[in-house]
Structure 1
Amino acid sequence: MHILLNGQFAGQRATGSGQYFENLCAALRRAAPDCRVEAARPPQRLGARLDKLWWEQVGWPLTVLQRDPDVCHVPYFSGPLLGRIDVVTIHDLIGFAIPEYSADPRWRAYLQLVARAVKRARLVIADSQAAADDIVHYLQIRREQVRVIHLGVHPAPKISRAETDVHLADLGIRRPYCIYLGSGDVRKNIAIAIMALAQIDAADRPQLVVAGSVPNAGTDLLPDHAALAGALGVDDWVVFTGPVSEARKHALYAGARMLLAPSRYEGFGLEPLEAMAHGVPVIAAACSATPEVTGGAALLLPPDDPGQWAEAIRVLGSDPIARAELIDAGAARAAELSWLHTAQQTLSVYRELA
């Protein structure tokens, strides 16, 4: 079977779509060595936005026509209005579920164009049942067209305490600390973690390490979390690392007391599983896809009650039995989800069409 994937996000591992593309391609080649797995990358000629639109609506369908694969797969929310469209993966529908994310009329027009296009897909893959429900609700795609395939997580690399300490010292992080990893937009709900921190007595308070691209812009979509920490008197307890390398990310996981995942909306969310693979207990928001993804292995809390988050942080910091139970449950959950399994299920979707 000849499989052709749209390589728009090839090499962009800092993005969720880029991670999905790279991990899926590698796992497909392991799962089906007898298949020809090929990725078509867009040319760079018009500038980022025009390049992307031209590729999706002209370059990609022409490439599919020329190469004539058994199955073509767009592994992110996109598709051509004309031409062949077999499989599309939709990771989330933030722009539909949270209208503030599509306030820009140009972005809103693009989303409507893509929504029309993906309705033409023969099958749609969703990362979670929660994402599948959104696809049916917002895009009016028939449920029988949608296949739910969870993402995978890699086994955690072995990192020594000494190696971890080098990264912590470089960033000014002291143990114990909680980690948040991700972007800084408002749906990620970092504010609840900072407010919870402020409710913990200084003697029991861990640091909060906010790792990832968190610009603190002070806009509706990009709140100024640094200003909030200052206003609550915990600015000395919050470390904003900025974007981190893969090696540093794993070191930060390895040294963390717990992961905080307070996001209000996720199509999937890999960070809780990555933390679980490192033996780090997880406190997460009980909403969107997170309960499904964590599979009973995280402590789930309302996304808007800092008092409950503060108490959970205190308990996990002081109760070794509660901590050990979450660590064991998390390790088991992470072991259930692999990229090889994701690839095998994706191949089953391809075989429905080939």
Structure 2
Amino acid sequence: MRILYDGQIYSWQAAGGINRYFANLIGRLPHDFYPSLTNCASRDVNFPNHPNLNIYFYQRFNFRPGRISLQVEKFYFRIISTWHKFDLVHPTYYESITGQGFQKFRYPVVLTVHDMIHELFSSQMDPTKACAETKKKAITAAQAIICISENTKQDLLKYYPIPEERITIIPHASEIDISLSYGDDSVPAQPYFLYVGSRASYKNFDRLLQAFANVVATFPDLQLCVVGSSFTKEEIRSIADLKLDSHLQYYSFLSDRHLAKLYRCSIAFVYPSLYEGFGIPPLEAMSCGTPVIASNTSSLPEVVADAGLLFNPLSTDELSDCLRFVLDNPANREQLVQKGFERAREFSWDKTVNQTLDVYRAVAS
């Protein structure tokens, strides 16, 4: 089977959740599959690996004026998508690198919908509604849609009246597990809770800071380890106001081995997000042997089930109680670790790929 992966996401994201998804998907395709990827990003982007992978690369803005270069780029990718023979197209995002709508493809389109953030948090994430409109056109044009959780599917159906039979639920998985966690990478010397990922407003990080400050009052040696982008000015002010300056440890983006060790050595991983399309970090945490404290909303109960502590993300007191519980109850904490291992084993990238192949074959036939 010959599959075209429209590589728009690589123009915006050198690494990240969608990047990892396609790396795992393409990298695990059978050896009698022939994936092609269109791309105009820099060469150091984390591309997928496959023995038959063909990358159609365009060096963006390699001549002036840039406007002409951009038009040539789109024309180049339109020729590839139109005149090369493929069985289907699986875009990496909701718009095409060709600059055209998905209905222009000559082949069936399989589209993965990761979440409904643009629709549910439009005032923060998409105030002009431009992203949601592009997404709507992509969803309408696709012959098959993959949703990464049941919750994402239900949210999709609320906003877009498409036939339910066009949708298949295929969860993500984790490529990080405890086997990676025994290197010599540094971790905080004091006991710490761990937070990993974006801290956009819907991620509810401010409430975590408030709950953590409540707990530090009785556990003064406690640390909160944060992995992700640098703190904003607003976050720095909140940290100072809550007198947490000496209780935070910050790490920038890390290798998988370093991250796995931070997971394993933490008291618990905390995920207070108001909304997730799936939520890979809790799955990573369970795979690395740390308890998960997560919101009881959106897709997170699907991922964590009874293997973690779930709380109302609008209640600072509930979150504080969960933090105290794992500190005060080491036996219960160990039970959560074992349940987490069992839960994490239910997800695998091989399973994800096999289910995706079923969608590919159905569409291509």
TM-score when scaled to structure 2? 0.83
State the SS of the aligned residue for 1:336.
coil
Give the deviation of 1:114 after TM superposition: 3.4
Q: How does 1:111-122 map to 2 (within 5 A)?
A: 111-122=132-143
Deviations 1:80-131 (A, max 9, x none): 42412510111112111112234553xx324313322330110111111111
State the SS of the aligned residue for 1:40.
strand
Contact 2:263 2:288 in 1 (8 A): yes
Distance, in Å, in 1 between the alignment partners of 2:17 and 2:134 is 22
State the SS of the aligned residue for 2:307.
coil
Alignment-mate amino acid for residue 236 of structure 1: S
Q: In the alignment, which residue of structure 2 is the partner of 1:176?
A: 191
Structure 1: 5+ residue runs without aligned partners?
Answer: 218-223
Distance, in Å, in 1 between the alignment partners of 2:230 and 2:113 is 24
Matched, 1:194 2:215: no
Specify which of 282, 300, 304 is matched with residue 314 of structure 2.
304
Matched, 1:76 2:93: yes
Distance, in Å, in 2 between the alignment partners of 1:215 and 1:159 is 27
Instruction: Provide closer, same or farther for how the CA distance between residues 55 and 292 of structure 1 changes in structure 2, counting only shifts above 3 A.
Output: farther
Q: How does 1:69-148 map to 2 (within 5 A)?
A: 69-79=86-96, 80-81=100-101, 82-84=103-105, 85-105=108-128, 108-148=129-169
Instruction: Provide closer, same or farther for how the CA distance between residues 159 and 19 of structure 1 changes in structure 2, counting only shifts above 3 A.
Output: closer
Q: In the alignment, which residue of structure 2 is the partner of 1:209?
A: 225
User: How many residue pairs are counted as aligned between the two chains?
Assistant: 335
Distance, in Å, in 1 between the alignment partners of 2:353 and 2:180 is 28
Contact 1:214 1:242 in 2 (8 A): yes
Distance, in Å, in 2 between the alignment partners of 1:235 and 1:98 is 30
State the SS of the aligned residue for 1:199.
helix
* Alpha-carbon RMSD: 2.7
Give the deviation of 1:46 after TM superposition: 4.7
Contact 1:286 1:301 in 2 (8 A): yes
TM-score when scaled to structure 1? 0.86
Select between 7-16 and 66-75 the one with higher mean Cα deviation: 7-16
Contact 1:258 1:281 in 2 (8 A): yes
Distance, in Å, in 2 between the alignment partners of 1:273 and 1:83 is 37
Q: How does 1:25-104 map to 2 (within 5 A)?
A: 25-28=26-29, 32-42=30-40, 43-46=58-61, 60-79=77-96, 80-81=100-101, 82-84=103-105, 85-104=108-127
Contact 2:271 2:294 in 1 (8 A): yes
Distance, in Å, in 1 between the alignment partners of 2:296 and 2:315 is 11
Alignment-mate amino acid for residue 111 of structure 1: A
Give the deviation of 1:203 after TM superposition: 4.6
Alignment-mate amino acid for residue 180 of structure 1: Y
Alignment-mate amino acid for residue 9 of structure 1: I
Q: In the alignment, which residue of structure 2 is the partner of 1:20?
A: 21
Select between 277-286 and 16-25 the one with higher mean Cα deviation: 16-25
Alignment-mate amino acid for residue 225 of structure 2: V
Instruction: Provide closer, same or farther for how the CA distance between residues 209 and 135 of structure 1 changes in structure 2, counting only shifts above 3 A.
Output: same
Q: In the alignment, which residue of structure 1 is the partner of 2:47?
A: none
Q: In the alignment, which residue of structure 1 is the partner of 2:3?
A: 3
State the SS of the aligned residue for 1:147.
strand
Instruction: Provide closer, same or farther for how the CA distance between residues 257 and 334 of structure 1 changes in structure 2, counting only shifts above 3 A.
Output: same
Alignment-mate amino acid for residue 2 of structure 2: H
Distance, in Å, in 2 between the alignment partners of 1:305 and 1:180 is 18
Give the deviation of 1:8 after TM superposition: 2.8
Q: In the alignment, which residue of structure 2 is the partner of 1:150?
A: 171
Distance, in Å, in 2 between the alignment partners of 1:92 and 1:58 is 30
Give the deviation of 1:300 after TM superposition: 0.5
State the SS of the aligned residue for 2:153.
helix
Q: In the alignment, which residue of structure 1 is the partner of 2:48?
A: none
Alignment-mate amino acid for residue 299 of structure 1: L
State the SS of the aligned residue for 1:284.
strand
Give the deviation of 1:157 after TM superposition: 4.9
State the SS of the aligned residue for 1:279.
coil
Instruction: Provide closer, same or farther for how the CA distance between residues 95 and 320 of structure 1 changes in structure 2, counting only shifts above 3 A.
Output: same
Deviations 1:31-74 (A, max 9, x none): x2222233222324259x999x9799766554222222112111
Alignment-mate amino acid for residue 146 of structure 1: I
Contact 2:5 2:38 in 1 (8 A): yes
Instruction: Provide closer, same or farther for how the CA distance between residues 90 and 57 of structure 1 changes in structure 2, counting only shifts above 3 A.
Output: farther
Distance, in Å, in 2 between the alignment partners of 1:58 and 1:97 is 35
